[in-house]
Amino acid sequence: MIQDDLSRDAEARLAAVRDRIVRAARVAKRDPADVTLIAVSKTHAAAAIRPLLAAGMRDFGENRVQEAQAKWPALREDYPDARLHLIGQLQSNKAADAVALADAIHSVDRPSLVEALARAIAVQGRAPDCFLQVNIGAEPQKGGCAIEALPALLRQARDAGVSVVGLMCVPPAEIEPAPYLALCAKLARDHGLGEVSMGMSGDMETAVTLGATYIRVGSALFGARV
């Protein structure tokens, strides 16, 4: 009975979030299929992830390599088509583990990390999709490259064979996110990048209307962090 309740709850949460995406896409005259939903499963145990997998969710986001290594090999045995996105700050000494584990890395933000990822990709022959994270609000406490450093970082990554598909940003908290999300989408267009990873539970509609192609949703799918 408890498992049935968990399954129904997961299905309802997922349906509600997908409905929000569809409605926002229609407002923007976009195809909802062009927006990939990432369930941010960081801090949540495998037992909380499985009901969403059973409900059809396939893209999940983790902050830490170690946490992902502890959860996802077993989950992928049952759901081999699940895709893992690393969305947290990545240490250069974890680059090889990240390349081995992740389908996408959303937080490439400095030359040393590009170098480490390029070495790992060359050794493993495996190239996850990479997003350059931009510190869109110029906040000293946040990761991400400065806007003015973006062209050089993108050039370095391309020259090194790192597969950069788009940009990622986290706008400043407690203020209107739209200008920052719009700027991130514009930067992606200006640099010929087709993917934009932005938008969370509280601002997903705004992100979709402004061009997000990946949105990272945690609390609306899992409830409060544990």
Structure tokens given for 193:
């990048």
| Site of tokens 């909380």 | 48
At 72, the amino acid letter reads W
Domain count, the chain: 1
What pLDDT shows up at residue 223? 75
In the chain, which ranges are continuous DSSP H helix?
A: 2-27, 46-54, 65-78, 95-101, 111-124, 150-160, 178-190, 204-209, 219-222
Dihedral (CA of 67, 73, 77, 79) sign = positive
Q: What distance in Å separates the CA atoms of residue 31 and residue 25, rounded to the nearest whole number? A: 6
Residues in the chain where the model's pLDDT stays below 50:
1
pLDDT, mean over the chain:
95
pLDDT in the model for residue 1:
38
CATH number of 80's domain: 3.20.20.10
At 5 the pLDDT is 61
Tokens 């081999």, residue located: 80
Rounded CA gap, 220 and 81, in Å?
A: 23
What pTM does this model have?
0.95
Collapse the DSSP code of 30 into the 3-class scheme (helix H, G, I; strand E, B; otherwise coil) and give the result: coil
| pLDDT (tens digit per residue) in 6-26 | 678 899 999 999 999 999 999
Residue span of the structural domain in which 20 resides: 2-222
pLDDT at residue 88, as a whole number: 95
